[in-house]
Structure 1
Amino acid sequence: MEPLIIIGTGLAGYTLAKEFRKHDPHSPLTLITADDGRYYSKPMLSIGMSRKQIDSADANEMAEQLNASILTNTRVTAIDPQHHLIKIGRDELRYRQLVLAWGADVFQLEVEGDGIEEIYSVNNLQTYEVFRKAISGKKRVAIVGSGLVGCEFANDLAASEHHVEMISQSHTLMPKLLPPDVAAPLQVCLQALGVHFHFGIGLAEVNRTDGGLELVLNSGKLVHVDVVLSAIGIKPHISMALEAGLTVNEGIQVNHLLETSEPDVFALGDCAEVDGHVLLYVAPLMACAKTLARTLAGHPTPLRYGPMPVGVKTPICPVVVCPPPKGSLGQWQIHGEGLDLRACFVQEEKLLGYALTGQYVKEKYALNKKLSTS
């Protein structure tokens, strides 16, 4: 019997495999990964300094746990949906069903200078370990990008006695998630922790000096650091899907069964686009994994999202946000003061989303109930 093949052993791939095994303990299962196949929680990478180490299980442990074959350090080079084949160089593997869970690629900073090799991005455990080694014994870190990951790293590094300079072309923190007034308390708390902000400006050059790195901002201002962390975002990995003839937009387009445009080929996680949305967060990933596992086990289950709050791992200022659906018409209603704010996104008295800081984060569960019945 040909196996179910999952390409990718990140949180999406391994979670799907675990959920699938709850419904089908014995059917052949193969996972393929370009890295070493360690299982870990990717969301923990941005708070790794405070945790000292990231817990992980190696591929052999996972293969035994999942009753699966795991091919590590193996790069898929092509997909042939018409013949139910994937290609690994000159070798071919036939699949019964195929799941694309290979995630996303980081956006690359476009800068000049002889120090660009000192720019790091963290998108998996291996790249995190490279970054961790790079900052060992060093104190000055520049973070480019003020999104969720950038803020979490800023909190984690500053709390670990690093001097952090945040550089962002945006004018606020997490502009895609938080209204400016709600982002303000987090900025105040990070500033109190020692983070310095350079808003509304880009990075032009990274040059080596005797004492580390000299950054040239677009304004001409110079900033001196030891290491640069790029946190400007990720984009769904779609190139191989395009080559295979799958329908692709921002991500690989799937329906409510997470089926792609080709029979027996599915996608989930950071590479998938459901109803025109690519949701790069844990809650939608978990929902997709659970429903797809049932479908792959012979019980077709349409995806239904419930409330999907995003907890921001910034202990200096607790934040949780449940963004309104993309393109929603409405307005933010903000209550509270200081570091404690409750913002509700309302359309004709209908709650579509919320953002909470400080003591108001405890209202998440009550607001989730209102969202689910709105």
Structure 2
Amino acid sequence: MSKRKKLIVIGNGMAGCRAVEELLERAPDAYNITIFGAEPEVNYNRIMLSPVLAGETTFDEIVINGRDWYADNGIELRAGEEVIAIDPATREIVTATGERAGYDRLLIATGSSPFIIPVPGASLDGVIAFRDIEDVRHMTAAAKKGGRAVVIGGGLLGLEAANGLRTNGMDVTVIHLMDTLMERQLDEAAGFLLRRELESRGIEVFTEASTQEILGEDVVEGVKLKDGRVVPADLVVMAAGIRPNTSLASHAGLECNRGIVVDDLMQTSDPDILAVGECIEHRGQVYGLVAPIWEMCRAVADTLASTDGQGYGGSVISTKLKVTGVNVFSAGDFAQGDNREDIVYRDAARGIYKRVVISGDRIIGAVLYGDTQDGNWYFQLLKDAEDISENRETLIFGPGFAGGANADPNAAVAALADTSEICGCNGICKGEIVGAIREKGLTTLSEVRAHTKASASCGSCTGLVEQLMSLTLGENYNPAAVEPVCSCTELGHDDVRRLIKAKELKSIPEIMQELEWKTPDGCAKCRPALNYYLVCDWPEEYADDYQSRFINERVHANIQKDGTYSIVPRMWGGMTSSAELRAIADVVDKFDIPAVKVTGGQRIDMLGIRKEDLPAVWADLGKAGFVSGHAYAKGLRTVKTCVGMDWCRFGTQDSTGLGVRIEKFMWGSWTPAKVKMAVSGCPRNCAEATCKDVGIVCVDSGFEIHFAGAAGLEIRGTEKLGLVET
């Protein structure tokens, strides 16, 4: 048996450890392996830092390789020990403590560092990056104090940070230099839809905005833009890009440009030193996404194991955004150019946009927003440079309609080759999943995750994996169990609601203890849900926990794009009086409120109120008899009315009085979504009752009751429930 060589890996992150995993599969006895990592942690999934920040999962749940993995594979882990120098002449590395360790082969996987824009104030306390778990811990601690956060950078990482901080209750502003969010991955149309979605969540977005200075003496207080605007801030997150960590390599005399230069075998200018991950430059390209890094890891493992491989030839990349509820996919080149054609599908009502870019009967780029289930299919056609001339007419509708066929729900995954990548986070192909299902008799999603790692990371490929299971198993497929409320529990919403009633649980701590919550205080996802259920189930006994509500509900106002708030007092049935109008005018003058708007719901909206003025504004409105119009809530918004038989020549019933009675009866109640109602005094329907959630149309013989209408992104007429006399 030949003597094992010494392999040192600098970097205990995803790239370094994945390369070691691939090496152990090929040559488990070839090396004595030592891994040095600057962080005092085991290998964890950095892709999942965003869900950790958002409170959707925990650090323990994103660990990829626990300490047992290192021990079981005979790997010496030196976590928390930074390597500060490489000496190629003696084949040694030097740690921060001065220790020297020799190697036969060296693998550099030092990743990248966040780009900190060089502006005054960048070193203030409260200015951080978003790259590792320690950054997440700092951000979570800051979010507990509330206040405002500014995220500099509207790329993939910046938007994930913004969403996580917003979920934690902070007021968030994104400052982006370019005119389109994620401009490297999205075209203008998709970027507009993304911005609209983020703003609907209360995230303020400034595009074409350049940071001039970060304000504050010892602690950050705000961000000043070059156009003179100042954005208040208690926390500033730098997410303006990354730079490959090349200093170790360059000081060791290795060739470096933007990254550490490697060949197709992942060898540096010193053939005994290899490099992989975000720190490398290959054929003039650097990569910051996980899918190409997995391809590099396979290539570097082939080199280290001296096995015949194809080497690394570069990557065509695709991107999926992981902000919860936002489905975005892009791949290839979608810039404007000569000899290119666009096929575009838009459905504004459903928030869906698809664009496929074609050149010479080949797909060269794709952007999908809202419906991304066909993304992998387009990506495979792009990578394979497949001729799409025969399917051109139906191409935009996906593989289910390829060749004019009727839609097949599993067509997208059935059309993929076995080599097609299903799980980008872990580099798992279709053939690997199908093979594991058949060979190991896997019938549930959890089993597939455990044996293949597919869908075990960010979860964006879960739908594809489930389609693949359905396609492979047919009737033997066992669909996944109910989705849990959050990562704090295994229970779904229905089970939690049932147990609250059955066990008579009447407080959030009682629920968490009795139902064995994994975390002592819950998270931003479960606490609002539990608070809602308790208010509904025990309205006379449970005291509403305002800290478990979202920020708009806590301050009874809607955050606006400039960081100010708007207030809409309730006006019963759209009726008001001179005294109420004077009170509103006095408040507008007293607090210098810049805008007053009559809404479509027959109310008055006051816009531009400073957050610190909200309590005093509500105090004055309360003295005048106003209550909140709940323009921010999942509850009753308005009951719109016409003047009815009191004034109208065509009125058949007292629509105004009925609307007032309904609103006074219903206001303050919580519902799963916002509710808008209306009462029209006659079939002429001046109050537009037939496009509301619940509408009443007065007729001579009584009242028509309508339901399930909509007049937002989706326009939908109501269905008629029936006619009642009283």
TM-score, with length taken from structure 2: 0.49
Label 1:121 to 1:211 Cα distance change in 2 as closer, same or farther (>3 A): closer
What's the counterpart of residue 10 of structure 1? 13
Per-residue deviation, residues 220-279 of structure 1 (Å, max 9, x unmatched): 112122211111011001112111111111111111111111121111100011111101
Task: Give 1:157 shift.
Answer: 2.7
Match of 2:58 among 40, 44, 53: 53
* Deviation digits for residues 134-155 of structure 1 (CA, Å, limit 9, x no counterpart): 2223142111101111112223
Where does residue 72 of structure 1 map in the other structure?
79
Q: Which residue type is aligned with residue 76 of structure 2?
A: S
Higher RCO, 1 or 2 (CA under 8 Å, sep at least 6)?
1
2:237 is matched with 229
1:349 to 332, 345, 361: 361
Q: Which amino acid counterpart does residue 315 of structure 1 have in structure 2? A: T
Separation (CA, whole Å) in 2 of partners of 1:129 and 1:357: 31
Match of 2:306 in 1: 298
CA contact (8 A) 1:34 1:74 kept: yes
Distance 1:131 1:329 in 2: 45
When Rg is computed on C-alpha atoms for both structures, the one with the higher figure is 2
Distance 2:218 2:333 in 1: 48
Contact 1:154 1:195 in 2 (8 A): yes
**1:206 equivalenced with 2:214 (yes/no):** yes
Residue among 83, 88, 91 paired with 1:84: 91
Percent identity over the alignment? 25
Residues 1:234 and 1:113: Cα distance change in structure 2 (over 3 Å): closer
- Render the CA deviation track for 1:97-138: whole Å, top value 9, x for unaligned: 111101011111323249822111021122222222222231
Q: Is the 8 A contact 1:342 1:354 kept in 2?
A: yes
RMSD: 2.6
**Letter in structure 2 aligned against 1:296:** L
**Partner-residue secondary structure (3-state), 1:257:** coil
How far off its partner does 1:207 sit? 2.8
Q: 2:173 aligns with which of 165, 177, 181?
A: 165
Q: Of the candidates 5, 30, 34, which is equivalent to residue 30 of structure 1?
A: 34
Mean CA deviation greater in 46-55 or 118-127: 46-55
**Residues 157 and 164 in structure 1, CA contact (< 8 A), matched pair in contact too:** yes
Matched, 1:372 2:402: no
Point out where structure 2 has 5 or more consecutive residues left out of the alignment.
386-726
Q: Name the stretch that deviates more: 329-338 or 250-259.
A: 329-338
Aligned to 1:315: 324
Partner of 1:190: 198
Matched, 1:335 2:347: no
Aligned length: 373
Q: Structure 2 vs 1, CA of residues 23 and 349 (structure 1 numbering), >3 Å: closer, same or farther?
A: same
Q: Which residue does 1:218 correspond to in 2?
A: 226
Task: Give the SS at the match of 2:257.
Answer: coil
Q: Take 1:159 and 1:289, find their aligned partners in 2: how far apart are those partners?
A: 35
- Residue 313 of structure 1 and its aligned partner are, at CA, apart by 0.5
Structure 1 contact 216–223 (Cα < 8 Å) conserved: yes
Q: 1:103 to 1:128 in 2, by over 3 A?
A: same
1:182-203 CA-to-partner distances (Å, cap 9, x unmatched) read 2111111001111111111222
More strand, by proportion: 1
Q: Is the 2:124–2:217 contact (alpha carbons within 8 Å) kept by the matching residues of 1?
A: no
Note closer, same or farther for the CA distance 1:212–1:70 as it changes in structure 2 (3 Å cut).
closer
Shift of 1:343: 2.1
SS in 1 for 2:43: coil
- 75-84 or 31-40, which moves further after superposition? 75-84
Do the aligned partners of 1:84 and 1:96 also contact (CA within 8 Å) in 2?
yes
Q: Work out whether residues 30 and 68 of structure 1, in 8 Å CA contact, stay in contact via their aligned partners in 2.
A: yes
Secondary structure in 1 matching 2:194: helix
CA contact (8 A) 2:6 2:103 kept: yes
Q: Which residues of 2 match residues 113-132 of structure 1 at below 5 A?
A: 113=121, 116-132=124-140
Which among 259, 270, 282 is matched to residue 274 of structure 1?
282
After TM superposition, the score normalised by the length of structure 1 is 0.91
Structure 1 unaligned runs (5+)? Answer: none
Which SS does the other structure have where 2:221 is aligned?
strand
